[in-house]
Amino acid sequence: MLTHATPPETDFTRLPDPGPDVFTAPLQRPAEVGEDWLEPAQRQYSAEEHRIWDDLYARQMQVLPGRAASAFLAGLERLDLGRGGVPDFARLSEELSGLTGWSVVPVPMLIPDHVFFWHLANRRFPAGNFIRTRETFDYIQEPDVFHDVFGHVPMLTDPTFADYMQEYGRAGWKAMRYNRLKALGALYWYTVEFGLILEGPEEADGLRAYGAGILSGPTETVFSIEAQSPNRIMLNVDRVMRTDYVIDDLQPTYFVIENFGELYHDTVDRDFDRLYRALGPGFTYANSAVIDVDDVLHRGTQEYALRGGRGSGAKPV
């Protein structure tokens, strides 16, 4: 009879303790938040901060049609995120829980991985409480309420994607046990943040973006779909989890799915134990690499990155 050395990761009610050996980012927890990192309430935004939301929203709406996934656009509309000003999390959660059982909860900043996974496993999406300023209007590295709510929350209205996000959170336990959070992080990066989907043949302009990192800014919305520089490769979970990623520039490679059901099954049916045992602690593939097993839709020129990328004046072509 088989015996398990460690209990199966099925208890998602308690916040997991990653233990001393698992690397987690050394984030300083603010005094007002507890172990769950939740702020007591959403902050009160000034009139100018509400205007910043409205201006960011209007700017995105100029580039999203024809480039954003239909599930994303449907979610935006269902939640009426353009009704004016930063959305109220309580109202948003009420609407969202009626659709897919998710809620939106305020956090002060980036939170540790194990806490983030725990919230996802319980269908709570942690959203940054602050909003960028006019000075950081075009680019902000730390996720603010616009990135988190505008970028992520519409997709949570899609039942299959909503389930994928919860399963992703649950998968965090195992990644911690194997100390392979980096690999699981790459999967999040190339799907939830920078994922593309084929809604029809690519030749017939069927490529759309569903990743929040893409859809919360105008430059990458256009770049991810239309530019010649980046590779566009069909998603393979094992391959993606071995692939490095850049956090502060346009992506050299995007991974493409055919539908959200496939993404869900590719993740849930995955034998992560076997995969984690086979993975080294670092990434195998550079973020611009094209390898033998790839099903390549478009092999990028990498011109943007070769010319120096962000800060160099290189055009996102």
How buried is residue 10: exposed, middle or buried, by Cβ count under 10 Å (0-12/13-18/19+)?
A: exposed
Verify binding: residue 214, Fe ion, rule CB under 5 A. no
Q: Which is nearer to Fe ion, 245 or 279 (CB)?
A: 245
Q: Which is nearer to Fe ion, 111 or 212 (CB)?
A: 212
Verify binding: residue 86, Fe ion, rule CB under 5 A. no
Residues near 156 by beta carbon (within 8 Å), at least 6 away in sequence: 75, 96, 100, 102, 125, 162, 165
Number of residues that bind Fe ion (CB under 5 A): 2
Annotated ligand binding at 152? The verdict is yes
Measured CA to CA, the distance from residue 115 to residue 35 in angstroms comes to 8
Sole binder of Fe ion in the list 52, 207, 212, 275 (CB under 5 A): 212
Q: Which is nearer to Fe ion, 143 or 195 (CB)?
A: 143
Verify binding: residue 120, Fe ion, rule CB under 5 A. no
User: Residue 198: beta bridge partners?
Assistant: 207
Annotated ligand binding at 147? The verdict is yes
| Amino acid present at 47 | A
Position with the least CB separation from Fe ion: 212
- Smallest distance, Fe ion to C-beta of residue 70, A: 20
Verify binding: residue 107, Fe ion, rule CB under 5 A. no
- Smallest distance, Fe ion to C-beta of residue 116, A: 10
Q: Which is nearer to Fe ion, 140 or 227 (CB)?
A: 140
193-197, Cβ contacts within 8 angstroms, sequence gap of 24 or more: 194/224, 194/245, 194/251, 194/254, 194/255, 195/235, 195/254, 195/255, 195/256, 195/257, 195/263, 196/224, 196/225, 196/232, 196/254, 196/255, 196/256, 196/257, 197/69, 197/256, 197/257, 197/258, 197/259, 197/260
- Smallest distance, Fe ion to C-beta of residue 143, A: 5
Q: Which is nearer to Fe ion, 186 or 279 (CB)?
A: 186
The binding site for Fe cation consists of 147, 152, 193
What does the binding site for Fe ion look like in residue numbers (CB under 5 A)?
A: 143, 212
The binding site consists of 147, 152, 193
